[in-house]
Amino acid sequence: MLKKFLHGLIFGTGFGIALVVVWFVGMTYLLPKAFEAAQKEPEFTNPQTAEIAKPDPFVSVTSSKEFSFFKHSENRMKIPENGGILSMSPISTSAGSKRPSTYQLWLTNSELWQIRTIEENTEIEKLPYPDGASVKTLDSLMHKNLGMASRQSTMTISETEINNIKSSGDSWRDDTLNGKLNITVEGVIFILPNPYET
């Protein structure tokens, strides 16, 4: 009886060790490779170097404002009139880089742009404007261009905020963002990430 118990104990211990080894190998080697395979690089066919617009103090920063005590969730991510929706995600950054690389999308009521930031350099490319463009358009483009593992953030930017960036070069969000909102001469809003903290 004792002999059978010891054999069972040895078998159970061996099985447990084998299970731990399989789990360890899977978590260390197989799972990271699967995530790497799921990540993609965005494709730019005809990028142009973005030229950041100089602040224009003569741009009017006043506009009509709508107010409601209630936040309507279905309206939260609608394209603001004369504003837009900015969607951004970090992408693979080469070792030794001073700041993270990003892929961003800027959607207005009439234009769609893709943006790539690498270090201090920014490239933009105008994309065909899709029918029924909405925040869902940005979600599907992010997944198409970066894979399902993209870490995406999205925010609406109003006409007033765009005018503030045009007139002063600053945005009220710069204090809370880990980067700075900029506007190109084409009117494309994007975030240039802050350098890594040392």
Cα Rg, the chain, nearest whole Å = 24
Residue type, 139: D
Residue type, 150: S
Q: How large is the average pLDDT for residues 98-112? A: 94
107-159: pLDDT as tens digits? 999 999 999 999 999 999 999 999 999 999 999 999 898 887 678 889 999 99
Q: What are the backbone angles phi and psi of residue 27, rounded to the nearest 5°?
A: -70, -30
30-54: pLDDT as tens digits? 666 666 656 677 888 888 888 888 8
CA dist 105 → 25, 56, 58, 152 (Å)? 38, 24, 28, 10
Nearest Cα residue to 180 out of 117, 98, 125, 135:
117
Which tokens belong to 145?
């261009």
Instruction: Write down the mean pLDDT value for the chain.
Output: 82
What pLDDT is recorded for position 192? 93
Q: What are the backbone angles phi and psi of residue 98, rounded to the nearest 5°?
A: -85, -20
Between CA 112 and CA 80 the distance in angstroms is: 14
More reliable by pLDDT, 23 or 182: 182
